[in-house]
Amino acid sequence: MSTLVIVESPTKARTIRNFLPSTYRVEASMGHVRDLPSSAEEIPEAVKGEKWAQLGVNVEADFEPLYVIPKDKKKIVKELKDALKDATELILATDEDREGESISWHLLQILKPKVPIKRMVFHEITREAIRDALTHCRDIDNRVVQAQETRRILDRLVGYTLSPLLWKKIAWGLSAGRVQSVAVRLLVRRERERRAFRQGSYWDLKALLEKGKISFDAKLVTVGNVKVANGSDFDENTGQIISGRRVLLLNEEQARALLSRIQNKPWTVGNIEERPVTRKPSPPFTTSTLQQEANRKLRLGARETMRIAQSLYERGFITYMRTDSVHLSEQAIAAARSCVQELYGSEYLSPQPRKYTTKSKGAQEAHEAIRPAGSTFRTPQQTGLDGIDFRLYDLIWKRTVASQMADSRQTHVTVLTQVEDAGFRSSGKRIDFPGFLRAYVEGSDDPNAALEDQEVILPALKVGDKPNCKDLEAIGHETQPPARYTEASLVKMLESEGVGRPSTYASIIGTIVDRGYAKLIANALIPTFTAFAVTTLLETHFPDLVDTGFTSRMEQTLDEIATGEAKWLPYLQKFYTGETGLATQVKEQESQIDAKVARTVVLENISAKVCIGKFGAYLESESEEGLVKASIPQDLTPADLDPEQVEFLLKQKTEGPEKLGLHPETGEPIFVLIGSYGPYVQLGEVSETNKKPKRASLPKGTDKDSVTLDMAVSLLTLPRLLGTHPETGAKVQANLGMYGPYVVHDQGKVGKDYRSIKPPDDVLTIELDRALELLSQPKAARGRSKATTPLKELGAHPESGEPINVYDGRYGPYVKHGDINASLSKDESVENFTLQRALELLATKEAAGGGKSSSKSKKSTKTAAAKSETATEKTAAKKTTAKKTTTGAKKTTAKKTATATATKKKTT
């Protein structure tokens, strides 16, 4: 007797095999085994002549889908059929979400098993969970399958009906999507806001006050009992103060005059307010919150986050990663509370177990939050994971454990100080009890380091005190446009609007970037001119399809189909074939859409037309000579295109490129031009005999107007041959690339070794010796933050050789070795703290799973402590001067004069 178990992926299959008896055979379907045809060649011959065949849905036969087995899945299907021949039972163990339920249903349709069938579901891949799932199998939920099928048909109807219209009217290869087009519109709307934004400027004063040798900042808030204007008082569309606001707008002259008037006058504390604040921990992760936090903390895109999370799930480290739920099982709550008790102590445990409930009505994926798998949680250090796998698991572990910790108790302090008729405000924050912040701080991977910036301590003040003014300066500010969406903020917006499902956000954002609707630059999603054109067309002719409310209601209907509250067929009929259905709208609107208008992007303050062409966006303008066209550089976004750039690009076309001068050796002219990939210099003119003149891009951040003839000549020498490598004899060059200047050791077939060139080194002047020095250095790891200066260097670890230092942490000093941190007790001073004592603390922390030790330091630190008394005595003698900081005092790094010098600062 044998049982065939089918899951989606080989990794999942390998993990599950370890938990099942030898009579169970586990195979992978490699995802979906059937789908709607993706190309004409996949359409069966029997229906190729049907007008609906290309759509893949027979709209005239109750929207019957045409399912086919793709070429790359035929071998897998055959293997599954062969495996089923030897089985006496079939268990379908695909994921418990709509996609997983659908995969199981499709497998049944293809395999047509004649043996007993079971549907097994689980949310984590552990021995206990798999064995439990075997005893609680169920049937396939046909309502969930129907909801998934309806969603798939809807997406096909929208995509295959609107995309051909975009090809005809704008450009070939464009696509529209039920959720994708709404997301693109959000990006475009934000970019329009940025373009319409008008900058406002204002001035204020900032003081550095001192009381009892403790310094603190104070900011001007009132003059003569009238509020001083700040950024929130400006209208983004005019750059002026919002109508009706009674505020005092200071310019530079007024700010300096006020500064002079109060410069040496006495300061008096007028009011002190203390407000207790309690912060509760965030709930454990859902799919969308994991994507958001991984983007903020780890700089991971949504697709990369889901890829890593899927791998962790399939290997048994975390629970199912596609979920809308924040619920934790009783088992998970107990495991998290056990971690808190063991690692942080009972005072950090929430008095009662915290139970989170999902607020969104449509939560329909797995029924538990993303958390570490199992009835006991492995600490990140116990998993054996490394790299980005370790970091993502660490994030999930911390968030889950923190969700069962005590509240953080803080006191916010506001001090109002008066000097003549000018009122200043100082804000402080005292953390009375860190609570969950000991384990998890949003926006940072290192709680000890992150918490240093959480608290702002003010000196002990009382009403009537007269602090000294150590410094006073006038500061100019400029308001900033709305921030562009990041992957994290776009996911948050889509979820808050009820558009799409969290499990689909990664692929949606990926499609937006892949199809050229947005560029991901410095973690910001920047819409292209093509996105503007497509969004404008859809807003004008199909407004419902890009309306967040309309799309959200579609999601609600799909949820209702899954629960049996709504019928799928009437909904599809109304959406597609009704009087106001999509098919009817497209027929009516197609003749009304002028292709030339559709390809044109209208931008205010730009006299020329921006058009979408076969090779990207270009400018079009009428001149005395006729119609002039000029390509727009690919890195130039709609919000950044201004009249000056338009004038230069058109002038370059009509009058020819700007000539810098003649090359000193060849006598050929050197030009500065702007092309599709940005500004560059060119040697000679394009002609029949010189079709491809030598060109060189300008270094990133170099303005075309700052290019000199000497710089252009130097750039045209790139790549520069610096010499040969003394060990290999291969050439070493310096050049400019996509990511900036670099040196390269080119060994041909053996490979190329690159190193970035950083200031003060220059790609135009760097020599061979310096290049060899750079090449000898190890490649820098990405994402490493700058190390904090230690309070005290204790010496090297006796076994690993790595340094052991004392740092100033948020809740006092702590000792650090590798990735293990241990706090000093309240009665221990930094000055008298020894290496021996550090080793004892680190050993205790490591035994409790308190940090990820490096490969060199995995031996017991406790043993090392016993061996190191002699080393400790020697090292303790080497004392470094600790940085002396007054408790809670804020440090200023800028040198400031007694009389203030105005500085421009941008504030958001």
Residues catalogued as catalytic: 320
CA dihedral 264, 268, 270, 273 (to 10 degrees): 100
Please name the residues in contact with 193: beta carbons below 8 A apart, sequence gap of 6 or more: 236, 481, 482
Ordered alpha helix ranges (H), 356-446: 387-402
What one-character DSSP code corresponds to residue 574? I
Ordered alpha helix ranges (H), 112-200: 127-134, 142-169, 180-196
Contact indicator for 27, 83 with CB cutoff of 8 Å: yes
Contact indicator for 572, 154 with CB cutoff of 8 Å: yes
Contact indicator for 757, 740 with CB cutoff of 8 Å: yes
Separation in Å, CA 889 to CA 104, 110, 159: 62, 71, 59
- Residue 192, burial from CB neighbour count under 10 angstroms (0-12, 13-18, 19+): middle
Q: How many Cβ atoms sit within 10 Å of the Cβ of residue 17?
A: 15
Question: Among residues 531, 550, 16, which one has the least CA distance to residue 314?
Answer: 16
Identity of the amino acid at 849: G
Q: Indicate if the alpha-carbon torsion angle 318, 320, 325, 330 is positive or negative.
A: negative
Q: Are strands 600-601 and 609-613 parallel, antiparallel or unpaired?
A: antiparallel
The SS3 of residue 584 is: helix
Please name the residues in contact with 665: beta carbons below 8 A apart, sequence gap of 6 or more: none
Question: Among residues 484, 475, 560, 478, which one has the least CA distance to residue 522?
Answer: 484
Please name the residues in contact with 340: beta carbons below 8 A apart, sequence gap of 6 or more: 348, 349, 401, 404, 405, 439
Q: Are strands 903-906 and 468-478 parallel, antiparallel or unpaired?
A: parallel
Contact indicator for 534, 166 with CB cutoff of 8 Å: yes
Separation in Å, CA 651 to CA 587, 621, 628, 862: 42, 11, 9, 74
Identity of the amino acid at 837: R
Contact indicator for 187, 525 with CB cutoff of 8 Å: yes
| Strand positions, DSSP E, 66-144 | 89-92, 117-119
- What are phi and psi for residue 846, nearest 5 degrees? -65, -35
Contact indicator for 446, 395 with CB cutoff of 8 Å: no
Q: How many Cβ atoms sit within 10 Å of the Cβ of residue 439?
A: 23
The Cα angle at residue 63 between residues 60 and 68, in degrees rounded to 5: 115
- What are phi and psi for residue 362, nearest 5 degrees? -85, 10
Please name the residues in contact with 458: beta carbons below 8 A apart, sequence gap of 6 or more: 214, 216, 413, 415, 426, 428, 888
